[in-house]
Amino acid sequence: MSSLSRRTPTRNLLLFSGRAHPTLAQEVADLLEIEVVPTTAYDFANGEIYVRFDESVRGCDAFVLQSHAAPINEAIMEQLIMIDALKRASAKRITVILPFYGYARQDKKHLGREPISARLMADLFQTAGADRLMTVDLHTAQIQGFFDGPVDHLLAMPILTRHVKKHYGKKELAVVSPDAGRIKVAEQWAAALGGAPLAFIHKTRDPRRPNESKANRVVGDVTGRVCILVDDLIDTGGTIVQAAEALMADGAEDVVIAATHAVFSGPAVDRLKNSPAREVIVTNTLPIADDKRFDKLTVLSIAPLLAQASAAVFEEGSVTSLFKS
């Protein structure tokens, strides 16, 4: 038998990063004790994107990390091009890491003649050559079903609840959902915080006016309690700040805002700085520029979760076990 036929193939985990959030990719690489694969990437004069990896990727287990930060369409396109390059360079398996999944809020039709853009996103990644998706705190869990392959839906809640327990665990707490649609998530938070009571904000929203809603009233007893106001993301900050104001007006002792994704569009930072919230806790699934940081803001790293999940996928282990208490 020749030496070639006796050779045992070695598996190789390689981490690739787009240009949207290289700091997070480097954190994940450090935890995995590997280096981010050197990549040449630049824009042509007309805005087209060029990507080439500076070392061989043949037969590797590729993990492609890109958070869909603004300008979001450029971030998405760059990641699709990276996946295509890996497929054509004979990567064995391609896992796409989306700390923040772009277009996740467009997961169903509210009005006639609207797209379901979250489904289109899944189709694009599959067509490009992705074998698996890994993402954090989807806007709705049903998006997992849009991708015809494995989806690892990671939860930032344990990272956020650890911080809340450490700093507010001795207070009388209430967990508050900013709308009725997030009640299930709030229930999970309440269980993680030792059975804290639940409340939610009744609000109205006009589907023709995006990023606008009106907090009408608090449903539940929050008097004298520190309210942990939980959501998956903060975009312009209007909904979450109105909810915080409604809670304080209803007799809450204090309000702490906790959200996974700090989108922070437009007036978000000014609204949050001037809100009655004591603290705003987010993760670094998206890059947060220095001019968008403020005294009340606490940023927790999602990198340990992404690194553990990547290692579990590479070693054919259980990702679900990461969330067992």
Please list the active-site residues. Answer: 203
DSSP string, 132-192: EEEEES-SSGGGGGGSSS-EEEE--HHHHHHHHHHHHTTS-EEEEESSGGGHHHHHHHHHH
Contact (Cβ atoms closer than 8 angstroms) between residue 281 and residue 258: yes
Q: Do residues 257 and 240 touch, judged by C-beta distance below 8 A?
A: yes
What secondary structure, in 3-state letters, does 34-89 show?
Answer: CCECCEEEEECCCCCEEEEECCCCCCCEEEEECCCCCCHHHHHHHHHHHHHHHHHC
Compute φ and ψ for 13, nearest 5 degrees: -90, 120
25: left (phi over 0), alpha (psi -120 to 50) or beta: alpha
| Rg value, the chain, Cα | 21
Q: CA 163, CA 169: separation in Å to the nearest integer?
A: 9
CA–CA separation, 233 and 240 (whole Å)? 9
Number of Cβ atoms within 10 Å of the Cβ of 186: 24
